[in-house]
């Protein structure tokens, strides 16, 4: 289960960011997760709890925003969200669309602290 190693990396990164901000406790970690990231959301949520034990993130929530796959259609000359990840064709005109613009992300976007961090 590679989600556990991802969770440990996420906790390490978030802990460093919290320390740089002078924060000793984190309430929530916000993450963007693309549908093509290869990460199973439920497994990551479970692994996150394990990875947080004994860290400033212990007891915090992992808030995951799932990002759809967006491709550029060379025929329509527009960005199009795909309705699923099985068929990489423009949903409007049917053209094969190999240019993936969004959907592979695993990105820490924000931390929530109980109070404002010290100035």
pLDDT tens sequence across 65-109: 999 999 999 999 999 999 988 999 999 999 999 899 999 999 999
- 20-29 pLDDT, tens digit per residue, is 988 888 999 9
Domain membership flag for residue 97:
yes
- Number of structural domains found in the chain: 1
Specify if 119 maps to a domain: no
Strand pairing class (61-67; 28-34) = parallel
The Cα–Cα gap between 104 and 119 comes to: 35
Residue 54 resides in a domain: yes
Beta-carbon count within 10 A of 44 CB:
23
Q: Is residue 21 part of a domain?
A: yes
Does some domain include residue 101?
A: yes
User: Residue 93 is part of a domain; what is its CATH number?
Assistant: 3.30.2320.80
Main-chain phi, psi angles of 16, to 5 degrees: -60, -45
Instruction: Name the β-bridge partners of 31.
Output: 64, 108
Which value, in Å, is the radius of gyration of the alpha carbons in the chain? 18
pTM score of the predicted model = 0.85
Residue 63 lies in a domain: yes
Instruction: Find the domain containing 63 and state its range.
Output: 3-112
Q: What is Dmax (Cα atoms) for the chain?
A: 53
The reply to whether 11 falls in a domain is yes
Helices (H) and strands (E) in the chain, counts: 2, 6
Q: Does residue 17 lie within any of the structural domains?
A: yes
**108 burial level (CB within 10 Å; 0-12, 13-18, 19+):** middle
Per residue in 78-91, is it b (16+ CB within 10 Å) or e — as a string? eebebeeeeeeebe
């Amino acid at each position: 289960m590679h989600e556990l190693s991802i969770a440990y990396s996420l906790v390490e990164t978030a802990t460093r960011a919290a320390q740089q901000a002078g924060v000793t406790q984190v309430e929530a970690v916000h993450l963007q997760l693309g549908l093509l990231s290869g990460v199973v959301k439920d497994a990551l949520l479970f692994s996150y709890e394990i990875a947080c034990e004994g860290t400033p993130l212990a007891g915090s929530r992992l808030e995951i925003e799932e990002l759809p796959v967006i491709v550029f259609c060379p025929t329509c000359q527009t960005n199009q969200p795909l309705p699923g990840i099985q068929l990489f064709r423009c949903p409007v005109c049917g053209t094969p669309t190999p240019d993936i613009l969004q959907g592979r992300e695993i990105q820490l976007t924000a931390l929530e602290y109980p109070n404002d961090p010290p100035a």
